[in-house]
């Protein structure tokens, strides 16, 4: 059974899939993402595979609606992005710059491919890292969900950025970027991208990546921008991993404009939600966060940004970063 169920209180679609119950949990003797498996074969550098336990499927059947609650087809695509043939690498900063370029190019190409699918309204590309947040396979990988609807968080960002543009005649993200590059929260920049802790951070060491050029989707990026995005992704992950001198569990999300409609007021961006507040202390989303979706921030963002800048300075030479830390 696979279907979408609509929550009339929040305006959200819930993805329901019985097949998800059968996902493997960290198998010790076999990795389906390593070269030579049934799914991967040999001779590749970066690979996109169908998720074997998907929430969405283009062949999903239409469910029967009741008298009140609304259901819809769980139509779409769930894929795994295998970032390297090497199993024992732990994060993007351990991949070469050239290899991360290949990952970003795959993101760009799959965006171009899925944009033309009439069933896809929004493409969510994301990366989960760490057992702490439930990652079931350790081989370096990301994921994508090609959704038939626009998620609530993206809708809110679109609404607020549209309203800001109508009122002030400029992109809200460009204004945020201007504010952050003049603040003590900026961490790193290269020719085309900026890494910073936002003024409104939810997570103790949350960081965002913005392109300096006003673009809406990955497929608009030029070759030099793809190279610089790969560079700043390696810096961001290396900085987070150096912060407490241990691997940082996190969630990374890429926010692009939806596929249907015009979104010239919107701006491509990437957000990292690190799960540690100290070396051995998790930041849990608990009562107030889960109950109201309003976050509390234990500490001072500017002080934590300083810790990130110190970590950034430690890793730039080691990974051959192209830009500068602050």
Structure tokens at 243: 């912060």
* Rounded Cα gap, residues 8 and 5, in angstroms: 10
* Residue of 123, 101, 86, 159 whose CA lies nearest to 255: 123
Structure tokens at 240: 């987070």
Q: pTM for this structure?
A: 0.96
Q: What is the pLDDT along the chain (326 residues), one digit of tens a residue?
A: 899 999 999 999 999 998 866 666 667 788 999 999 989 999 999 999 999 999 999 999 999 998 999 999 999 999 999 999 999 999 999 999 999 999 999 999 999 999 999 999 999 999 999 999 989 899 999 999 999 999 999 999 999 999 999 999 999 999 999 999 999 999 999 999 999 999 999 999 999 999 999 999 999 999 999 999 999 999 999 999 999 999 999 999 999 999 999 999 999 999 999 999 999 999 999 999 999 999 999 999 999 999 999 999 999 999 999 999 99
22 is catalytic: no
Q: Is 89 exposed, middle or buried (0-12, 13-18, 19+ CB in 10 A)?
A: middle
Task: Using DSSP bridges, classify how beta strands 71-72 and 47-50 pair: parallel, antiparallel or unpaired.
Answer: unpaired
What domains can be seen in the chain, in order of their start residue? 2-325 (3.30.428.10)
Residue 169 gets the label, from left (phi > 0), alpha (psi -120 to 50) or beta, of left
Q: Which of 22, 97, 141, 208 is catalytic?
A: 141
Cβ pair 132, 249 in contact under 8 A:
yes
* Rounded Cα gap, residues 110 and 306, in angstroms: 36
Rg, the chain, Cα only:
20
Structure tokens at 228: 């610089």
């Amino acid at each position: 059974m696979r279907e979408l169920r609509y929550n009339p209180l929040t305006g959200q679609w819930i993805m329901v899939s019985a097949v998800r119950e059968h996902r493997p949990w960290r198998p010790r003797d076999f990795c389906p993402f390593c070269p030579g498996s049934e799914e991967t074969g040999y001779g590749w550098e970066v690979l996109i595979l169908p998720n074997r336990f998907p929430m969405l499927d283009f062949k999903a059947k239409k469910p029967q609606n009741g008298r009140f609650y609304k259901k819809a087809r769980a139509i779409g695509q769930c894929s795994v992005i295998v970032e390297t043939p090497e199993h024992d690498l732990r994060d993007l900063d351990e991949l070469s710059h050239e290899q991360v370029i290949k990952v970003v190019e795959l993101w760009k190409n799959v965006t171009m491919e899925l944009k033309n699918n009439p069933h896809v309204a929004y493409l969510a590309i994301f990366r989960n890292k760490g057992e702490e947040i439930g990652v079931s396979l350790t081989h370096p990988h990301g994921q994508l969900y090609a959704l038939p609807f626009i998620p609530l968080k993206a809708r809110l960002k679109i609404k607020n950025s549209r309203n800001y543009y109508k009122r002030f005649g400029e992109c809200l993200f460009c204004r945020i970027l201007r504010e952050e590059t003049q603040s003590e929260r900026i961490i790193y920049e290269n020719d085309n991208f900026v890494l910073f802790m936002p003024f409104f951070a939810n997570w103790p060491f949350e960081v965002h990546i913005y392109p300096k050029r006003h673009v809406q989707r990955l497929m608009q990026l030029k070759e030099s921008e793809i190279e610089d995005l790969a560079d700043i992704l390696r810096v961001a992950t290396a900085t987070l991993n150096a912060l407490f001198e241990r691997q940082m569990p996190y969630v990374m999300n890429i926010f692009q404009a939806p596929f249907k409609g015009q979104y010239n007021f919107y701006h491509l961006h990437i957000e990292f939600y690190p799960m540690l507040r100290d070396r051995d202390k998790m930041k849990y989303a608990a009562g107030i966060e889960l109950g109201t979706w309003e976050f509390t921030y234990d500490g001072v963002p500017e002080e934590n940004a300083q810790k990130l800048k110190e970590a950034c300075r430690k890793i730039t030479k080691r990974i051959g970063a192209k830009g500068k830390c602050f």
